[in-house]
């Protein structure tokens, strides 16, 4: 498994920094902290900086929302996950996707925290990667898979927005990808993730109020529609290729 995960570190460009953040410390040895990165947290997991400026998704997602979302909300998931793992050294060495796929084997005393904070770390790490783009349309093999499995890009977008709108309270809407490259639309409550089912999130949108309330107030459907303008399809295509190759981790 070690080789599998080391190889997976080099999928994509922005994936490098993100993947390092997801590896337990000691699983490999990144030589230096990138300039401007926050000081490493005391624990196996660290918060990678946003892969673009906080205002990169303006006007659709405002910089203040991005800053609070990454620097406070995501940071808290990382910090709480590390705190839970403090006295569980062997577990803390496992890659996050393995931990989340085997929650039943996590000690009961920390299982809920690993589920919520570990899920939150995984979901947000994916989320930052697949934004910062120009929207538009997917192409090539990814478009073909969306046509085949989800009825085309336009229907997929409508169904995704409708499903995201129906999530009661806090949660996520995802397009998942299995090892054969088959896509499916799903939602999850709280910080649950398709990783818990042994699948991968190809991409997903956060429908917690913290993701949109400053700009959109209670108008979640408006946020869901606007969000497609910042989706990074080339990055999602990289994730699709990695999923089919068996190298997509988070
Ligand atoms: Mn969030």
* pLDDT tens-digit series, residues 191-242: 999 999 999 999 999 999 999 999 999 999 999 999 999 999 999 999 999 9
Task: Quote the distance between the C-alpha of residue 52 and its chain's center.
Answer: 15
> Does the structure show a pLDDT above 60 at 185?
yes
Omega before 59 within 30 of 0, i.e. cis: yes
Same domain for 161 and 100: no
CA–CA separation, 135 vs 138, rounded Å?
9
Ligand 1 center from residue 68 Cα (angstroms): 10
Count of domains observed in the chain: 2
Taking only the tens place, the pLDDT of each residue in 94-135 is 999 999 999 999 999 999 999 999 999 999 999 999 999 999
Residue 134 lies in a domain: no
CATH code of the domain containing 90: 1.10.287.990
Please give the distance, rounded to the nearest whole angstrom, from the Cα atom of residue 148 to the centre of ligand 1: 30
Q: What residues make up the domain containing 236?
A: 140-245
Distance 207 CA to ligand 1 centre (A): 8
CA of 59 to the centre of ligand 1 (A): 18
212 Cα to the center of ligand 1, angstroms: 9
134: DSSP letter: -
Q: Residues 187, 237: one domain? A: yes
169 alpha carbon – ligand 1 mean position (Å): 13
Ligand 1 center–CA 163 separation, angstroms: 17
Centroid of ligand 1 to alpha carbon of 52 (angstroms): 17
Q: What is the pLDDT of residues 28-70, one digit of tens each?
A: 433 344 455 444 445 799 999 999 999 999 999 999 999 999 9
**17 and 117 share a domain?**
yes
């Amino acid at each position: 498994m070690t080789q599998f995960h080391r190889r997976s570190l080099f999928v994509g460009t922005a994936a490098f920094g993100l993947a390092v953040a997801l590896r337990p410390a000691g699983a490999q040895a990144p030589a230096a902290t990138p300039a401007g990165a926050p000081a490493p947290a005391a624990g196996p997991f660290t918060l990678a900086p946003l892969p673009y400026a906080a205002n990169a998704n303006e006007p659709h997602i405002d910089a203040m929302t991005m800053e609070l979302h990454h620097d406070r909300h995501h940071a808290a998931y990382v910090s709480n996950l590390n705190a839970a793992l403090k006295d569980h050294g062997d577990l803390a060495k496992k890659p996050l996707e393995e931990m989340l796929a085997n929650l039943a084997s996590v000690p009961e005393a920390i299982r809920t925290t690993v589920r919520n904070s570990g899920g939150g770390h995984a979901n947000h790490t994916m989320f930052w990667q697949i934004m910062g783009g120009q929207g538009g349309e997917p192409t090539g093999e990814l478009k073909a898979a969306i046509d085949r499995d989800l009825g085309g890009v336009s229907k997929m977008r409508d169904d995704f927005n409708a499903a995201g709108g129906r999530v009661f309270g806090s949660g996520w809407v995802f397009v998942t990808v299995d090892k054969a490259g088959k896509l499916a639309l799903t939602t999850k409550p709280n910080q649950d993730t398709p990783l818990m089912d042994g699948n991968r999130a190809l991409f997903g949108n956060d429908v917690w109020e913290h993701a949109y309330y400053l700009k959109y107030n209670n108008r979640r459907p408006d946020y869901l529609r606007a969000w497609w303008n910042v989706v990074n399809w080339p990055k999602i295509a990289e994730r699709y290729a990695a999923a089919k190759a068996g190298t997509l981790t988070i």
